[in-house]
Amino acid sequence: WYMTRKDSIETVSQFFIELDREFVPADLQQRLRDEINNLRQKDCKNLADYIARFRQLNLQIKGMNEIDKI
């Protein structure tokens, strides 16, 4: 991907922006929010598994306010 680009990348931050554009699905944040909203303890092996999955999703979701995190 990087080698086939026509435009040069000047900074590390620009590199990460372009990397996200290329490889991160445009609807990723909505998918993560849907997944956390649909997460149920009964779908997990045990409570620890549920909590771990909840925390993992919570860390990936950008711009979630404190009330939504609870």
pLDDT of residue 5: 83
Query: What parts of the chain have a pLDDT lower than 50?
Result: none
pLDDT of residue 56: 96
18 burial level (CB within 10 Å; 0-12, 13-18, 19+): middle
- Domain layout of the chain by residue ranges: 27-69
CA distances for 57 relative to 5, 17, 26, 63, 70, angstroms: 32, 21, 17, 13, 12
pTM exceeding 0.85: no
